Amino acid sequence: MVLSPALFPKPPVLETQVQFWKQIYTDFGVGDFVLHDRENLGVIYGVVHVGGTTNQARAEQLAKPEVERLRDKYGDILIRLAQGRAPETLGPDGIAVYQLWGCPCAAEVLERAAGNIRVQQGLRERVTEGLYRAKRLLPRIVAILHEHQVPPELAALPLVESSFNPEARSKAGAVGLWQFIRSTGRKYLTISRKRDDRRDPIRATEAAAHLLRSNYAVLGSWPLAIVAYNHGHAGIQTASAVVGSKAIEDIVTRYSGSRFGFASKNFYAEFLAALEVVQPYLPGQAAPVDTKGRVRTPQRVSSPVQIPPVSSVAPPAQLVVPAPVEAEPSSEVLAPPAEESVAVAPAAALPDVPPPPGLPMPSYAPVPSPPAESSPDLQQASIPAQTPSVSSVTPSAQQTMPAPVEAEQSIQAPPPPAEASLAAPPVVVAPDSTPLDPLAPTTVPSSEPAAAPLPEAQTLPLQDPLAPETPAPDSPDTVAP
């Protein structure tokens, strides 16, 4: 397969955009959030990093507070610079922003930049997964494009659209490998309640080849045909007429139609970045493999843009539940619920309290420390993690009841005297003795006089159960306590 680089030029004015998107595809992962200028992708204010998760929505939720803080911070710096404040009075961040924009510059430029701070989440994991799917799909996609006289380089376009996922669905309702919306897809595919050919990678590729070839026939340029795939060929014809040029760089940099937004302006640059990533995997190209014959993950690329330090946001720490205290069945171990936190600090040291006699102390697993921060200016405020405390109920003293005395069936034992032997023996503390453990239960000596010793119980001879019952004399001497 022969590629034609001349059909897809890379104008110098678009070089920064292409490098930006190549970094998003290969450098930044799902936990990286890049704050940059919407119009000048060479201006990157900072990167917020969330570790410990590969879920896109979860990472976005965790990073949101820090992202909003940095957006407000740099927006305020830009406004103050536009008002004439010296960058030295705004600290190191003010100097960095001043240099990013190559100031001195017009106040209108800085005011516009204050409202153009955008956040882009990394796509490295998504692109890696897409390349594994592409290995199976690319041979058939390239063959279909060749049948419709479409350059094979356009086989990289599904990486931009869906990461080669036939089941992908966008928020705008676009479906499938080539992300057809319903109105466009019905021109080439069958779309009904029972059948949706947009999810069929072969039929969808046939439809995409028809559409791309049609765009090229109308616009006469493959770069414009690619942008028309996102914006519509009628919209690109209007943009070309407004700027008076069919050059892709002129339309991207000079046209500012109401519907020609960020996605349309960057669509061709995204395609060029995707082509650099996908090209080694096209049929007939030498795909990179490792020693085990597996396709390697694309190598990270360098960028002419100097990226500021990364602000890290730690995921919520897992709750470490201490070992339960061994106690009687009546004991209860209580632990307060742990609240989720964005940044986790090392646990505070526990006071050195000796354990109560006979009661083992619970063991605590170490709480992991947060990742190292590379810049104090972009760090997330840390919330100290509270070590869960364990409240335990001390088992009460076991009550000692005297053993009943074997007596005749006719004799009924009265209840024992009040407070005969229910309380534990008092503990007498000498004035000069060592203080007791503050956690050990303290027994206060009773001020009441000790109960008199009970008379010794007498044992009556057992009566034959078959003999007639003979009432026994009601004498207190025969009753045991």
Cα-based angle 434, 364, 337 (whole degrees, multiple of 5): 110
Under the banding of pLDDT at 50, 70 and 90, the label for residue 408 is very low
Can you tell me the mean pLDDT for 456-468? 49
Integer angstrom CA distances of residue 294 from 14, 130, 132, 300, 378: 33, 15, 10, 18, 39
Closest CA to 79 of 102, 108, 38, 42: 108
| 341 within domain boundaries | no
Number of domains in the chain: 2
Q: Are residues 102 and 193 in the same domain?
A: no
User: Which residues form the domain of 81?
Assistant: 29-122+302-316
Q: Are residues 229 and 90 in the same domain?
A: no
- Residue 299: DSSP 8-state: P
pLDDT at position 5: 75
How do residues 145-196 score in pLDDT, each as one tens digit? 999 999 999 999 999 999 999 999 998 899 999 999 999 999 999 999 999 9
User: What is the percent of the chain with per-residue pLDDT over 90, rounded to a whole number?
Assistant: 54
Q: Are residues 85 and 219 in the same domain?
A: no
CATH number at residue 274: 1.10.530.10
Q: Are residues 148 and 115 in the same domain?
A: no
Q: What three-state secondary structure class fits 63?
A: helix
Burial annotation 36-58 (CB, 10 A radius, 16+ → b, else e): bbbebbbbbbbbbbbebbeeeee
Q: Are residues 252 and 169 in the same domain?
A: yes
Q: Which tokens go with 10?
A: 């890379």
d(CA 344, CA 373): 12
Highest mean pLDDT among 65-74, 314-323, 436-445 belongs to 65-74
Q: Are residues 137 and 115 in the same domain?
A: no
Integer angstrom CA distances of residue 379 from 66, 205, 277, 314: 8, 46, 33, 11
Closest CA to 109 of 151, 129, 79, 140: 79
Q: Are residues 168 and 216 in the same domain?
A: yes
Q: Are 231 and 267 in contact (CB under 8 A)?
A: yes
How do residues 9-26 score in pLDDT, each as one tens digit? 999 999 999 999 999 999
Q: Helices 15-26 and 124-147: crossing angle, nearest 10°?
A: 120
Q: Are residues 146 and 276 in the same domain?
A: yes
Name the CA radius of gyration of the chain, rounded. 40
Give me the active site residues, please.
161
Q: Are residues 138 and 116 in the same domain?
A: no
Q: What three-state secondary structure class fits 326?
A: coil
Residue where a domain stops, chosen among 293, 316, 339: 316
| 64 within domain boundaries | yes
Q: Are residues 98 and 137 in the same domain?
A: no
**387 Cβ contact partners less than 8 Å away, ≥ 6 residues apart:** 347, 348, 350, 364, 367
Q: Are 2 and 260 in contact (CB under 8 A)?
A: no
The structure tokens 């001043």 sit at 98
| 201 within domain boundaries | yes
Highest mean pLDDT among 235-239, 257-261, 450-454 belongs to 235-239
How do residues 287-328 score in pLDDT, each as one tens digit? 554 333 444 444 433 334 445 555 665 555 444 444 444 444
Task: Answer yes or no: is pLDDT of 134 > 80.
Answer: yes
Q: Which tokens go with 237?
A: 């014809």
| 141 within domain boundaries | yes
Q: Are residues 57 and 86 in the same domain?
A: yes
Name the residue with higher pLDDT: 200 or 4: 200
Cα-based angle 148, 151, 154 (whole degrees, multiple of 5): 105
Q: Are residues 185 and 71 in the same domain?
A: no
